[in-house]
Amino acid sequence: MNTRSARRLSLTAVAWILALALPAQDPAPAKGPDKEIADKLATLKDVVADKKFARDAEGVSIIDDLLKKAQAGVDPKDATAIVKGLDGVLSTGKVRPPDNTSLYNGAIAALGRLGPEGAKALKAAYSGKRFPDKKEWVPLREQLLKNIGRTKDESMVKFLVDEARRSPEAALQAAAGEALGNYEESKEAIRKEIVGDLIVTWGELSEVASQMGSNNVAAQNAQDRLSALSDKWNTSFAKLTRQNFSSFREWQTWYNKNKSVAW
């Protein structure tokens, strides 16, 4: 055997010795379900079931912790479980009175940051019977609408537009219009659809409100409704169009001139 061959064999032997001496490098284990999430969800379920509502503050804290985990990134099964647990806050247990909704508000705010699945849970709560369309539940229902918008789930645009145009409650029309401002990064067609639909309703209300008279109840009601929604709709229009106006007439003039061009 020549010197070169001997050296090659020697280096090969050293490599094998080093490979055997080094500890085996196992692949990083796949991230699985988080036991802490399961524990917190179990505790949250107990909080919701408390008929005296004595643990609601604890529940709000748990919801905050679950949201932080979800936003940091969790196993898909945990993500589903978190949404289901938050949905359970809104759909199970003894109904809290309208003036004691901190637990509900915590769940609503968290679901508003959990994308399409969060949007589905929020819409179900809004459309269900637990929080009826009555005056005392308007503040909670406003939060449901606003947080549906915060999910930026475009499948909810039609629902929010319908509420903004047709809700009998002015505060809910205002909230739905405000929620639609969250779609400022959506494609032009979606933004144009929102503005086009809302500007029709805004115009109808403005027309009725302009007919004010001593006995014109419809005009007064339209004026009151405009007072409730104009500022919030104005802000959403600015986000959706990248323009800045302060009155319906200005928006109408701009829209009529620009509805067929790129925004």
pTM of the model: 0.87
What count of Cα atoms within 13 Å lies in the side-chain half-sphere of residue 6?
3
Quote the pLDDT of residue 212. 72
Task: For the chain, list residues with pLDDT below 70.
Answer: 1-31, 213-214
Quote the pLDDT of residue 28. 41
Question: What are 179-205's pLDDT values in tens digits?
Answer: 999 999 999 999 999 999 999 999 999
Quote the pLDDT of residue 21. 42
Quote the pLDDT of residue 219. 93
CA–CA distance, 164 with 240 (Å, rounded to integer):
15
DSSP collapsed to 3 states, the chain: CCHHHHHHHHHHHHHHHHHHHCCCCCCCCCCCCCHHHHHHHHHHHHHHHCCCCCCHHHHHHHHHHHHHHHHHCCCHHHHHHHHHHHHHHHHCCCCCCCCCCHHHHHHHHHHCCCHHHHHHHHHHHHHCCCCCCCHHHHHHHHHHHHHHHHCCCHHHHHHHHHHHHHCCCHHHHHHHHHHHHHHCCCCHHHHHHHHHHHHHHHHHHHHHHCCCCCCCHHHHHHHHHHHHHHHHHHHHHHHHHCCCCCCHHHHHHHHHHHCCCCC
Quote the pLDDT of residue 214. 60
CA–CA distance, 239 with 184 (Å, rounded to integer):
5
Quote the pLDDT of residue 31. 65
